Each structure stands twice: as structure tokens, then as C-alpha cells.
Amino acid sequence: MRIIKLFFISAFVFGALIFGLSLLFPSTAVVERAGTIEAPVDSVFAVINNLRTWERWNPWLAPDAAQQVQYAPNPAGKDAWYTWSNPQYPGSLGKTTIIESNPQKGVYYRLDYKGMKTTIGGLEIRGTEDRKGTAIRWYLKTELGLTPWWKLRGFMADRIMGPQIEQGLTKLKQTCEGH
């Protein structure tokens, strides 16, 4: 009986310690990358504002034979959306919806992925000083709450998703510059 009691007390103390340590982690995860595209702002906006063009540059929407994607009747601008699913991975489904679209600022979207926290993303654009190119900032922001496993996931988000965003920005640059 003493061993069982010790086990439960130890488990409780360990759980409280983990929860206490998780309070030191931020409850918001932000992953962002920036770059410059040698193309006019309106050309870049036309590409990021139309969800059908995202297959060319978005690493999470790259053509995949098993992935099924459905687009809204109007795939560009505010309230445009696409859904995805993968029959090989039944839990892999979600929806991306443009929540704001402004030719001077960029495109902001909501990403709802089954079993995950909602993520808000933004592709912010502005003209470069020489007016020949476009400065772009791509970010993903997720409110994690207080649970330790979400905070740990948020702690690792930049290492996991940062390289994918960099890859996407490189492909977006190539798409917009006509390479």
C-alpha cells in the first residue's frame, strides 16, 4: 500500500512540476520569415490573393497524388477558401479561409486543421524603397492556451515550420519573378 501511495504522490508532483514549468513558455507561437521579391506589389498580390496559385509555392499545398483539394467557387479575395483531405491519413483534413485581402497590405487567412489549434496566417507585402520590388513577411500565429503539450509544440514550431516557410517564400519568389 505504501508503494502505491508513493507512486500516486510522485505522479502528482511530477505532473504539477511539468505544468508549472510549462507556465514559463509563451502561450502564443509565432513563426515568421521575410524576404524580397523582384516583382511589383500588384503582381505579388495577384499571386498570394488567389488560392489556386498557392499550389505553385505553398509547401503545405504542394501537389500530392493522394491529397484531395476543393476550392470555393471564387478562390480569390476575402472569404475564399479551400479544404483538403488525404484518404491515406484519415485525420489529415482542414480548411484555409482568407479573412482579409488588401492590395496594399497583403492577405490574412485562418487555418483550421482537424485536432489542432486554429492558426492565423499573414502574407504582408509592401513596396521596396526603389519601388521595383516587394518586401514580404509570412507569419503563422497560434494561441496555445495553458496545456503543457500545446506549449511544447509551440516551443518547437519555429524549428519545424520555419524551414517550410522559407521554402515557400523561395518558390513564391520564383513564381512571381517568372523563373
Q: Which domain holds residue 143?
A: 27-177
Domain assignment present for 159: yes
Residue 74 lies in a domain: yes
Going by pLDDT thresholds of 50, 70 and 90, the confidence category of residue 3 is confident
Question: What pLDDT, on the 0 to 100 scale, is given for residue 66?
Answer: 62
- Tell me how many domains the chain contains: 1
20: in domain: no
Q: For residue 65, what pLDDT is reported?
A: 56
pLDDT score for 114: 84
pLDDT score at 27: 79
- CATH code of the domain covering residue 84: 3.30.530.20
The pTM assigned to this predicted structure is 0.83
Q: Which residue has the higher pLDDT, 20 or 98?
A: 98
In DSSP notation, the chain reads -HHHHHHHHHHHHHHHHHHHHHTTS-SEEEEEEEEEESS-HHHHHHHHHBGGGHHHH-GGGS--TT-EEEE-SS-BSTT-EEEEE-TTSTT-EEEEEEEEEETTTEEEEEEEETTS--EEEEEEEEE-TTSSSEEEEEEEEEE--S-HHHHHHHHHHHHHHHHHHHHHHHHHHHHHHT-
- For residue 179, the model assigns a pLDDT of 64
